[in-house]
Amino acid sequence: MYCAMTKQFVTDNCFQIVDDCLQMFGGYGYLSEYQIERYLRDIRVNRILEGTNEIMKLIVSRNLLKD
C-alpha cells in the first residue's frame, strides 16, 4: 500500500512540475533540443508503468477500507 501511495504521489507531483516548466518554455518545450521534452515523455510513461495511477488509488483505497 505504501509503495502504491508513493508511486502515485511522486509521479503526479513530478508531472505537475514538468508541466509547469513546459508552460514556461512555451513552444520551445516541445523541441528535442531542450531536455524538458524528454522529461515530459519520461514522466508520462512512469505514470503508466507498473500499474496506472488510477490502479494505485484503487489499491490504497482497498487497503484502507479493509483495515
CATH number at residue 45: 1.20.140.10
Residue 50 pLDDT grade (very low, low, confident, very high; cuts 50, 70, 90)? confident
pLDDT tens digit sequence for 2-44: 988 998 899 999 999 999 999 999 888 888 888 999 999 999 8
**Per-residue pLDDT at 67 exceeds 70:** no
Tell me if residue 50 is catalytic: yes
Which domain covers residue 48, as residue numbers? 2-66
Q: What angle do CA 35, 41, 47 make, to 5 degrees?
A: 130
Which is the catalytic residue, given 33, 37, 50, 54?
Answer: 50
pLDDT of the residue at 56: 87
Domains identified in the chain, total number:
1
Q: What is the 3-state secondary structure (H, E, C) of the chain?
A: CHHHHHHHHHHHHHHHHHHHHHHHHHHHHHCCCCHHHHHHHHHHHHCCCCCCHHHHHHHHHHHHHHC
